């Protein structure tokens, strides 16, 4: 059995750093404002995986009201989600994600993000696609106020 999940996340950019996406620290004069490290890519992937498996969403599992998750590493949270998926009898198969950010240019970091996600999801690198996009100056991403991510995952039942 296969299942599909969709995830989305957005965080405002602020004067703190660093900017972390897919576990990669990206040089930029702004960072993402969040209770955790603000890695919107990991957060969207978490929600896509959890949704596909019919599990509680990221906000229920790792609430921003819980001091235990303050400044937490989102790649580690993604690892916990992959473990929960396995406990529920599912395994990730494929990920396709769009990162929407006007700046900085993310193409130079794309391969490292894909590598990190493939390792965490325990899939071959060719099963991961992360595509940086600008928003052509439109919306909060285009005005450099925020970064958002759309993610789609495919999971399968473990036999």
Q: For the chain, which domains are there?
A: 2-157 (3.30.1330.50)
Q: Do residues 10 and 148 lie in contact, with contact meaning Cβ atoms separated by under 8 Å? A: yes
CB neighbour list of residue 9: distance below 8 Å, 6 or more residues apart: 40, 43, 44, 47, 148, 149
Q: Do residues 19 and 30 lie in contact, with contact meaning Cβ atoms separated by under 8 Å? A: yes
For 96-126, the pLDDT digits (tens) are 999 999 999 999 999 999 999 999 999 999 9
Q: Do residues 70 and 105 lie in contact, with contact meaning Cβ atoms separated by under 8 Å? A: no
Question: If pLDDT is split at 50, 70 and 90, which confidence band does 10 have?
Answer: very high
pLDDT at position 57? 94
Dihedral sign, Cα of residue 130, residue 42, residue 75, residue 46: negative
Question: If pLDDT is split at 50, 70 and 90, which confidence band does 151 have?
Answer: very high
Q: What six digits make up the tokens of 34?
A: 């969040």
Instruction: Give Cα 48 distance to the centre of its chain.
Output: 9
Question: If pLDDT is split at 50, 70 and 90, which confidence band does 69 have?
Answer: confident
């Amino acid at each position: 059995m296969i299942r599909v999940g969709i995830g989305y996340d957005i965080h405002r950019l602020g004067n703190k750093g660093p900017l972390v996406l897919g576990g990669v620290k990206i040089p930029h004069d702004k960072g993402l404002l969040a209770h955790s490290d603000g890695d919107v890519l990991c957060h969207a992937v978490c929600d896509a995986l959890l949704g596909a498996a019919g599990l509680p969403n990221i906000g229920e599992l790792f609430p921003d009201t819980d001091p235990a998750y303050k400044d937490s590493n989102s790649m580690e949270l993604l690892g916990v989600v992959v473990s929960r998926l396995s406990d529920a009898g599912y395994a990730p198969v494929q990920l396709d994600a769009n990162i929407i950010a006007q700046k900085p240019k993310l193409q130079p970091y794309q391969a490292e993000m894909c590598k990190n996600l493939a390792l965490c999801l325990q899939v071959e690198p060719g099963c991961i696609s992360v595509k940086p996009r600008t928003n052509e100056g439109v919306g909060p991403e285009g005005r450099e106020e925020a970064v958002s991510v759309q993610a789609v995952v495919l999971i399968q039942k473990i036999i």
